[in-house]
Amino acid sequence: MYENREENIVCFLPEEFINNIEKDLNKITGGIPDILESNYEFIKENWNYSNAFEFLVGMILGNCQFSYIQAFDQIYEKMPSREQIKDIHTVISRRKTQFEQGVSAFLEENNIK
């Protein structure tokens, strides 16, 4: 169990794992427009959604959350506990605004409504 004394928050994830998520998210959030650019036609053809912005933000957030749950399982050779999964969601959710900004930039650049 990791305790962040600055924020006085108890976290059930290893500090190293949290740091790796944060580093990865720095790269991912900065590359969202490029990631979507290379995959948008596939996404558009295979998924039926009424709101591109909400769908794309949710898809990216969900993919990240699932990927880090899988990564935890591979690194530590066990599935994360309920508390650890909640912490993974929390770490990723703190970047929601950056995900939204990246999706907005992609949609604006490509004139997609």
Q: Quick one: pLDDT at residue 8?
A: 45
| Neighbouring residues of 12: CB distance < 8 A, sequence distance ≥ 6 | 1, 2, 81, 83, 84, 86, 87
Question: Does 48 have pLDDT greater than 90?
Answer: no
Within a domain: 9: no
Within a domain: 81: yes
Q: How confident is the model at residue 5 (pLDDT cuts 50, 70, 90)?
A: very low
Within a domain: 65: yes
Within a domain: 46: yes
Within a domain: 3: no
Within a domain: 5: no
Mean pLDDT of 2-13: 57
Please count the structural domains in the chain. 1
Mean pLDDT of 88-96: 95
Q: Quick one: pLDDT at residue 10?
A: 53
Q: Are 17 and 75 in contact (CB under 8 A)?
A: yes
Averaged confidence pLDDT in the chain = 90
Q: Which domain holds residue 29?
A: 14-109
Within a domain: 1: no
Within a domain: 90: yes
Give percent of the chain above pLDDT 90.
81
